[in-house]
Structure 1
Amino acid sequence: MKKSYANILLVIVTIIWGGGFIATDGALDALSPFYIMMIRFMGAAILPCILCFKKLKNLEGYIWRRGLFAGALLFLAFSFQTIGLQYTTPSKNAFLTAVNVVMVPYLLWLYMRKKPNQKEVLASIVCVIGIAFLTLKPDAVGLNIGDMLSIICAFFFATHMIVLERYSRHCDAIVMTALQMLGAGILSTICALLFETPPAQFELSAVGNLAYLIFISTLLAYLLQTFAQRFTTANSASLILSMEALFATLFSFLFLHEELTLYMIFGAALIFCSVIYIEYKPKQHT
């Protein structure tokens, strides 16, 4: 597959995740965070585990370890994001989570001795500035404990992106998705049972939101991301996936009637420009 087609798949993932913010908001009215994560990841693990059951039985141990490790990174990222949201504003949480865009080039340098070039650094900085305009409010100054937890969340999302780029090239996408969902689901279940109280009653209104989170925002989205990252780079993936904030803002405006300002439109334009800049390669004239 061409890199351009893989990047289109990643754009689809960002659109799906943008809608996931609305679904998560609705699910939180009925369930606590770890129970949502448990239902989300364990539910998303069932179908791929069934489809590749024979392959999973015959997998070598190192592939199991890689897949479960990727799932553990997902669990940690979502956990720190959720806990951080309890101590900071949604806008700062979204912005600081998206800082993984800047982290990816330097983590690649740290983990894989792959020094970032000037174009990658500039594109990531422009992207983060755009996300700041899109998500932050004028009074969003200073850092508190929630902000620090959100930055840790960004670190785990960035590391997951790098790990997925490396591991997905040597493993079937459905198998890797199954292992990731299983790893994240098991850890979410343990935390839900240890740290949260089971819901006294279940609101039927949450069924649609949970179904979207399980089958669309988790199973389909991570299957597409895992497949696409076999054919693109972690730097490109991080920039494209940062558009999640853009689509989350757009859907919030369309469906939740939240405010859309000129600053936010300018931020969205900067994000688009950063993605186009990193992917643009002028034709070589012969």
Structure 2
Amino acid sequence: MRRLHANLLLLLAALIWGVTFSIQQMAMEHIGPVLFTGIRFVLGALVVLPFALKEQHTRHADGAAALERSVLPWVVMTGSALFLGALLQQFGIAATTVANAGFLTALYVPLTPILAFFVLRQTPHPAIWPAAAACLGGAYLMSGGVLDDISDGDAWVIAGALFWATHILLVGYVSKRTQMPLTVACIQFIVCGILGLLWGGMTETLTVDGLWASAPMVVFTGVVSVGVGFTLQVVAQRHTPAPDASVILSAETVFAALAGAVILGEHLGALEISGGALILCGVLAVELLPLSLAKVKAQRAKRL
């Protein structure tokens, strides 16, 4: 797969998650966030399971090695990071303003290349830094251009952003090491789903009426957002570096705002539109700047 195709898959995943955000908000009227997370990720795992089993069968038929036991703990950590990112973000949203939560969640964009550099000793492409700054600035504008006083809820959101960045790094690592994206996706969904069901079962109450009312939203988010969206992320990150992926996935904010305007009737002002345009500039920079710099270097090499 070419890198351009991988980046387009990441952009499609961001589109799916952006649309799903509005549907998640509607589901919260009927079911607790932790149980909702657990149920939809278990459903997502069931969707991907047949394809993961087929992937295993194909590898076995080709004489390739199955998933190494040494890799399994990394896949479990990937699912745990996914769960903690979603859980901490949800805790934070309940205790802070929407504007603060929207901006602080976007901190995973600059955090991803920073963690890649200090933890994995990976030096991101120079284009990442201006692109990440553009995405962070765009998220600030889309949150209304106002950041209230930092609260305990903000601390939860920041911690969640750290785990989102960790998840992106782990996905890139395990998908490249195993070359089994569907298997990796399925296992991380199972881990996230089980953690959500266990935690939600202890802290939230689920009624038959609530489950029935939220069923269409649970099915849609489980099949489309989890089963398709997160699987696309795992597949694409075999070919796209984690810092680049974080910038492209930040387009989720733009798609979420557009979906909110269409589905929920939310208003988009000039500030929000400007922020969305800035984020899209950052996404384009990740794809186009490396190509431009490569052409410049090639031209210089020919002259010499």
Q: Structure 1-normalised TM-score?
A: 0.94
Q: Is the 8 A contact 1:106 1:115 kept in 2?
A: no
Does the 8 A contact of 2:7 with 2:248 survive in 1? Answer: yes
Asked if residue 166 in structure 1 is aligned to residue 180 in structure 2, the reply is no
Q: Does 1:26 align with 2:33?
A: no
Rounded Cα–Cα distance in structure 1 between residues aligned with 2:50 and 2:113: 36
- SS of match in other structure, 2:177: coil
Q: Which has the larger radius of gyration?
A: 2
CA distance in 1, matches of 2:248, 2:104: 16
User: Within 5 Å, which residues of 2 pair with 1:125-136?
Assistant: 125-136=133-144
- Other-structure match for 2:276: 268
Amino acid at match of 2:149: G
Instruction: Give yes or no for the alignment of 1:154 onto 2:168.
Output: no
1:256 lines up with 2:268 in the alignment: no
Matches of 1:125 and 1:80, distance apart in 2: 24
| CA-to-aligned-CA distance 1:45-90 (integer Å, 9 cap, x gap) | 1233344348499643223222211100000000001111110122
Cα RMSD after superposing both structures: 1.9
**Percent same amino acid at aligned positions?**
29
Pick aligned residue for 1:179 from 177, 187, 205: 187
Unaligned runs of 5+ in 1: none
Give the direction of change, closer, same or farther, for the CA distance of 1:268–1:36 in structure 2 (3 Å limit).
same
| 1:67 counterpart residue number | 75
Amino acid at match of 2:40: R
**2:215 partner SS:** helix
Partners in 2 of 1:167 and 1:262 — Cα distance?
41
CA 1:112–1:203 in 2, change beyond 3 Å: closer, same or farther? Answer: closer
Q: 1:142 aligns with which of 146, 149, 173?
A: 149
- Unaligned runs of 5+ residues in structure 2 are 61-65
SS of structure 2 residue aligned to 1:227: helix
Give deviations 1:248-275, integer Å, cap 9, x for gaps.
0011111211111111111111111112
Q: Note if contact 1:95-1:136 (Cα within 8 Å) is conserved in structure 2.
A: no
Q: 2:121 — aligned with what? A: 113
Aligned to 2:63: none
- Contact map agreement 1:85 1:146 (CA 8 A) in 2: yes
- Tell me what 1:237 maps to: 245
Q: Does 1:100 align with 2:139?
A: no
CA distance in 2, matches of 1:43, 1:263: 38
Distance between the aligned counterparts of 1:213 and 1:113, measured in 2? Answer: 35
SS of the residue corresponding to residue 92 of structure 1 reads: helix
Aligned-partner residue type, residue 20 of structure 1: T
Look up the equivalent residue of 2:19 and give its one-letter code.
G
The answer on whether the counterparts of 1:92 and 1:136 sit within 8 Å (CA) in structure 2 is no
For residues 252 and 274 of structure 2, the distance between their equivalents in structure 1, rounded to whole angstroms, comes to: 16
Distance in 2 of aligned mates of 1:63 and 1:175: 12
Residue 117 of structure 1 and its aligned partner are, at CA, apart by: 5.1
- Where do residues 73-88 of structure 1 align in structure 2 (5 Å cutoff)? 73-88=81-96
C-alpha displacement at 1:116, in angstroms? 4.0
SS at match of 2:210: coil
For each residue in 1:106-130, what CA deviation from the matched residue of structure 2 results, as whole angstroms up to 9, or x when unmatched? 1011111123454322221121001
TM-superposed CA distance for 1:94, in Å, is 2.0
TM-score scaled to structure 2, two decimals? 0.88
| Residue type at the aligned position of 1:247 | F
